[in-house]
Amino acid sequence: MNSNQDKVCDLAIFGAQGDLALRKLFPSLFQLDKAGLLDAETRMIGLARDHVDQPGFKENVTEHLKKYIPADELDNEVLQRFCSRLQYIKLDFATEEGYDQLVATRAKVKHRLICYFATPASVYGPICENLSKHQLIDSKTRVVLEKPIGYDLASSCEINDQVAKYFDECQIYRIDHYLGKETVQNLIALRFANNLFGSQWDLNHIDHIEITVAEKVGIEGRWGYFDKAGQLRDMVQNHLLQLLCLIAMDPPSDLSADSIRDEKVKVLKALQPITPELLTTHVVRGQYGAGTIDGKPVPGYLEEENAKSSSSTESFVSLKVMINNWRWANVPFYLRTGKRMPEKLSQIIIHFKQQPHYIFAPEQRSIASNKLIIRLQPDEGISLQVMTKDQGLDKGMRLRAGPLQLSFSDTFHADRIPDAYERLLLELMKGNQYLFVRRDEVEYAWRWCDRIIQGWEDQNTRPQKYPAGSWGPVSSIAMITRDGRSWYEDSA
Ligand SMILES: NC(=O)C1=CN([C@@H]2O[C@H](COP(=O)(O)OP(=O)(O)OC[C@H]3O[C@@H](n4cnc5c(N)ncnc54)[C@H](OP(=O)(O)O)[C@@H]3O)[C@@H](O)[C@H]2O)C=CC1
Ligand SMILES: O=C1O[C@H](COP(=O)(O)O)[C@@H](O)[C@H](O)[C@H]1O
């Protein structure tokens, strides 16, 4: 195959009329087209079961582009080119109806087929089976699986097995959209291109690490899905554990997908299991009640659209996670994530140890440790909190903690930070698997989370209430305070 044929592809989006496709995938593909990153012959084939003709489909996609892309970025020429790449095929994924049309569309082309499953995971298996029956799979075909892959380890293995009957692991791209975020990518550069940090990245220099992924939004009309999942399955099993792996892993020997994934798997295998005895001290789960965000009243979890009157599903979870290996023995990783928090904020704070001997004012001791603050969103950037002498003749040798800042948008004059899906779709088309999750990563993550969920079920506990607009139940603060530490914004 020549290199040009290698770049061109047919991207078949199963579930093309759904929320993910219309809100994220088509807008991201449009941005790639605009940036000149799509081959001239690349096509997008939308598949869903709605009765809609070709113009109707293009109209629907265009309407959503207009909704999700700022008007000044919607170039008309690009829009026309983008629409000319679109086709729609009516297909029922679970039956054989419609697959012949996909075969016909592919009849005269030799380039790669990439199948993006923007559908419930329950139809991944049937789609693979039908693709195979219609001889639509060959060694070049790639398949993209959206999260969540399963509900627990057993169901995840079942789905992965169904897909593995038809595709090799090197053809499977499991999405965790956090891996496509600009600053998440930067964790690798930060750690492995800077000796300053690389040489200090262990139990000898780091006291503890915080990972916060807070959302302002509530359930956003997804109560039916969310109530079966909860925040541990929805956010920790994938996004937070991936972040933890990138922070905690040993340096990979190179940047290949498998070198990075091998190191991440070692971290997942070294996670201290949260046994029933540790459940009360190492995990807090919460559910929001009514409260106020940005000065406006918002309903509680049980008052959201389509909610049932009772539920023990958590919308918040915080955890103290230990990693049993040589690099991280006795260094706690405090993780927390929740819905209806006071702000949307994803950040990682590396708290370095204090100097071994302290010579400044005793009352300033608590500020005298370096913190590396990695902002994933919003205001992507990195800031290192360092101690300097407070300025002024009358200040003596008083310390002042101040930041050395690197704001990505200011420093690199980036007008827009690409959406995670743009990067993921581009790497998918290039065939780079390093931003996608390997099967064993998913399964080790489930194994660790399943134990926590089993513990909750066995102990029949309910989540603690927290008011919308707060940082979670007070016991989340107590969990870290017991260790003589505090969540970053509490001490800021
Ligand atoms: N939306 C999001 O932000 C995110 C979604 N995901 C994952 O992405 C996937 C898609 O999510 P989302 O877009 O929200 O879901 P939607 O329900 O909005 O879209 C799913 C699409 O698949 C179609 N579909 C489902 N079953 C069949 C079938 N048997 N035959 C033909 N069409 C079918 C639906 O058609 P119909 O409307 O007729 O049922 C719809 O077009 C899920 O796995 C979800 O977990 C992951 C992260 C974020
Ligand atoms: O995967 C998911 O992520 C979103 C949060 O993503 P972000 O990029 O906005 O931080 C979360 O709202 C959703 O519940 C979950 O399924």
Atom of ligand 1 nearest to the CA of 24: 3
pLDDT, tens digit (0-9, with 9 covering 90-100), for 364-415: 888 889 999 999 989 888 999 998 888 887 878 888 888 887 777 776 666 7
Q: Following CA atoms 213, 264, 267, 451 in sequence, which dihedral angle do they give, to the nearest 10 degrees?
A: 70
Average pLDDT over residues 275-296: 97
CB 18 within 8 A of CB 54: no
Q: Please tell me the total number of residues recorded for the chain in this structure.
A: 492
* Predicted local confidence at residue 4, as pLDDT: 46
Indicate if ipTM > 0.95: yes
Q: What is the pTM of this model?
A: 0.95
- Ligand 1: distance of its center to the CA of 471 in Å? 31
Looking at ligand 2, which atom is closest to the CA of residue 181? 8
pLDDT band at 95 (very low <50, low <70, confident <90, very high): confident
Give, using CA atoms, the residue closest to atom 34 of ligand 1: 15
Tokens of 321: 């996670």
Give mean pLDDT, residues 150-175: 97
Q: Is the CB of 15 under 6 A from ligand 1?
A: yes
Q: What local confidence, expressed as pLDDT, does residue 413 receive?
A: 64
Write down the catalytic residue from 111, 239, 282, 351. 239
304 in a labelled binding site: no
- pLDDT tens sequence across 328-341: 999 999 999 999 99
| 49 marked among binding-site residues | yes
User: Residue 246: pLDDT above 80?
Assistant: yes
* CA gap 430, 201 in Å, rounded: 32
Phi, psi of 149, deg, nearest 5? -90, 90
For residue 388, the Cα-to-chain-centroid distance in whole angstroms is 36
For residue 63, the model assigns a pLDDT of 97
Ligand 1 pocket mutation, candidates 20, 52, 238, criterion most atoms within 8 A of CB: 20
Helix (H) or strand (E) holding 472: none
Q: Which residue has the higher pLDDT, 5 or 93?
A: 93
Q: Please report the pLDDT score of residue 469 as a whole number.
A: 97
Q: Report pLDDT for 206.
A: 98
List Cα–Cα distances, 442 to 150, 236, 424, in angstroms. 10, 12, 18
Query: Dihedrals φ, ψ of 292, to 5°?
Result: -130, 130
Find out whether 431 and 112 touch, Cβ atoms under 8 Å.
Answer: no
Q: Residue 415 belongs to what H/E stretch? A: none
Average pLDDT over residues 29-49: 96
Q: 46 vs 184, which has greater pLDDT?
A: 46
Instruction: Choose the residue to mutate in 28, 234, 241, 337 for probing ligand 2, maximizing ligand atoms within 8 Å of C-beta.
Output: 234
Residues 213 and 346: beta-carbon distance below 8 Å: yes
Average pLDDT, rounded, for the chain = 94
**Average pLDDT of span 166-193:** 94
Residue 281 reports pLDDT greater than 90: yes
Can the peptide bond before residue 362 be classed as cis, meaning omega within 30 degrees of 0?
Answer: no
Strand segments (E) across 152-205: 172-174
DSSP string covering 89-148, please? Answer: EE--TTSSTTHHHHHHHHTT--SEEEEEE-S-GGGHHHHHHHHHHTT---TT-EEEEPSP
Burial class (CB in 10 A: 0-12, 13-18, 19+), 366: exposed
Pocket-testing residue among 13, 49, 97, 233, ligand 1, by greatest number of atoms within 8 A of Cβ:
49
Cβ 97 under 6 angstroms from ligand 1: no
Contacts of 55 (CB under 8 A, 6+ apart): none
Contact between residue 150 and residue 157 where contact means Cβ atoms under 8 Å apart: yes
The helix (H) or strand (E) run that includes residue 336 is strand 333-338
Task: State pLDDT tens for residues 217-245.
Answer: 999 888 999 999 999 999 999 999 999 99
Lookup: tokens for 107: 């009849």
How distant, in Å, are the alpha carbons of 20, 182, 344, 434, 451 from that of 240?
A: 21, 16, 15, 17, 17
The predicted structure's pLDDT at residue 414: 67
Question: How far is the C-alpha of 128 from the C-alpha of 131, rounded, in Å?
Answer: 5
Whole-number Å distance between alpha carbons of 178 and 374: 14
Among the bound ligands, name the one nearest to the CA of residue 97.
1
Give pLDDT, residue 351: 97
Ligand 2 atom index nearest CA of 222: 14
List pocket residues of ligand 2, CB cut-off 6 Å: 215, 234
- The ligand that comes nearest to the alpha carbon of residue 48 is 1
CA dihedral 96, 101, 102, 105 (to 10 degrees): 170
Peptide bond into 276 cis (omega under 30): no
**DSSP-derived secondary structure for 19-60:** HHIIIIIHHHHHHHHHTT-S-TT-EEEEEESS---HHHHHHH
Q: Give the nearest ligand 2 atom to 344 CA.
A: 10
Indicate whether residue 130 lines ligand 1 (CB < 6 A). Answer: no
Pick from 122, 119, 94: nearest CA to 25 = 119
Model pLDDT, residue 492: 41
* Residue 9 confidence (pLDDT) above 80: yes
Q: Is 290 exposed, middle or buried (0-12, 13-18, 19+ CB in 10 A)?
A: middle
CA distance 328 to 203: 5
Q: Confirm or deny that 389 is annotated as ligand binding.
A: no
92 annotated as belonging to a binding site for a ligand: yes
Which pLDDT score is estimated for 462? 94
Q: Annotated catalytic, 239?
A: yes
Q: Is the pLDDT of residue 162 over 90?
A: yes
Q: Residue 140, annotated ligand binder?
A: no
Indicate which residue's Cα is closest to atom 25 of ligand 1. Answer: 119
